Amino acid sequence: MKKILFFLCVFCLFGKIGVTPVFAYKIETLDDPDVKGDFVLGPGKTELFMNAGETYTKDLMITNRLGQTMKFNVIIEDFQGSKNPEEGVNLLGDERGPFSLRDYIRPEITEFTLKHNERIILPTVVAIPAGSEPGGLYASVLVVTSPLESGLKEEDINKGKTKLISRLGILFFVRVKGDAKEEGTLKNFKVKDDKLFFEKAPVSLEMLFENFGSVHLMPYGSIEIKNSLGQKIDEINVDPWFVMPESVRLRVIEWSGKKFLFGRYTAELTINRGYKDILDKKSVNFWIIPWKVILIILVFLFLFIGFLRWVGHQFHFEIKRKKK
């Protein structure tokens, strides 16, 4: 009986010791003490190519520059694209998205506090289940911050003041390797608001790309600007931008022009769809007529001609030929 009690005591002792978690996150104090009035979350957009059954750890960095000790919470939400060109991505809150990643992202801790000028390096695990189908999975890691409860005085509460809550997010784009549906096209290319005449640059050019596939696409390309003679006078690079599956996304590029512009111009867009080097091409025409400058020139010419006529009436010039 004594031996049994002894082993039970040893088991309980080591059992309690064994459940103590060992965390890998780190909190650092930075050298810059200045108050910037914000907090910083990094890195930015994260894109991963993973096999089914694979695990990857990404270190997130959250820095408190708000000038006081703050409480932080980490939340995972799915996001998706939209059929509305004016929208980018929509966070879905508690709703599960059609390409859900939320259950496969695990921050090491989801609640912590940081003093001003402290930064936490937070390991976040992305674990794709074995047997997952090839395609895209998408979620956002949101960091929400608010002052500690003790930071809000009772007199402030009585005056109706509330805690200021801010949040930032990192978008996670995960592509599960394998044969996925890649399909998209340049749907439209036009001048913003279908405007035809401009007094001067800049000219806003809109491109609309639609993604029919099961993975996000990263189209990119260039725009050539040509004058009425067909000569290329400028070229604009169109950097890659993401378009979510089963959605459309609008991109606006401004052409500022490099010198005095007058006449009819053509913008020719060439877009690589972001897969298999498939190219889409579209063009649009517009006019730039600096009517104010033209009006000033015409007024000057009118005044100049009037001045010459006035001089002609005031003075009489005769040309006499010399007699031989």
16 is a domain residue: no
Q: What are phi and psi of 196, to 5 degrees?
A: -105, -40
Domain count for the chain, please give it. 2
The CATH number assigned to the domain holding 68 equals 2.60.40.10
Same domain? For 160 and 41 the reply is: yes
- Residue from 176, 171, 149 nearest 43 by CA: 171
Q: What is the pLDDT along the chain (324 residues), one digit of tens a residue?
A: 544 454 445 445 444 444 446 678 999 999 888 899 999 999 989 999 999 999 999 999 999 999 999 999 999 999 999 999 888 899 999 999 999 999 999 999 999 999 999 999 999 999 999 999 999 999 999 999 988 865 555 454 344 444 557 899 999 999 999 999 999 999 999 999 999 999 989 999 999 999 999 999 999 999 999 999 999 999 999 999 999 999 999 999 999 987 788 899 999 999 999 999 999 999 999 999 985 656 666 676 766 776 677 676 766 555 556 555
231 is a domain residue: yes
Which of 116, 141, 176 is the last residue before a domain boundary? 176
304 is a domain residue: no
Same domain? For 57 and 29 the reply is: yes
Helical segments of the chain, H only: 2-18, 154-158, 291-314
Same domain? For 188 and 99 the reply is: no
Rounded CA gap, 266 and 257, in Å? Answer: 13
Same domain? For 148 and 97 the reply is: yes
The predicted pLDDT at position 306 comes to: 67
Same domain? For 208 and 162 the reply is: no
- Residue from 259, 261, 255 nearest 291 by CA: 261
The predicted pLDDT at position 11 comes to: 45
The predicted pLDDT at position 264 comes to: 95
Give yes or no for a contact between 201 and 287, defined as CB atoms under 8 angstroms apart: no
The predicted pLDDT at position 159 comes to: 42
Same domain? For 32 and 169 the reply is: yes
43 is a domain residue: yes
Q: What is the pTM of this model?
A: 0.80
293 is a domain residue: no
The predicted pLDDT at position 316 comes to: 59
195 is a domain residue: yes
79 is a domain residue: yes
Same domain? For 29 and 143 the reply is: yes
Same domain? For 92 and 159 the reply is: yes
Q: Please, how many CA atoms are within 13 Å of residue 184, restricted to the half-sphere of its CB?
A: 32
The predicted pLDDT at position 164 comes to: 58
Cα dist from 309 to 297, 303, 306, 315, whole Å = 18, 10, 5, 10
Same domain? For 106 and 236 the reply is: no
Same domain? For 27 and 172 the reply is: yes
Same domain? For 192 and 247 the reply is: yes
Same domain? For 270 and 133 the reply is: no
- Residue from 144, 139, 184, 135 nearest 164 by CA: 144
Residue 59's domain spans which residues? 23-176
162 is a domain residue: yes
The predicted pLDDT at position 156 comes to: 46
Which of 176, 198, 228 is the last residue before a domain boundary? 176
Which of 129, 147, 176 is the last residue before a domain boundary? 176
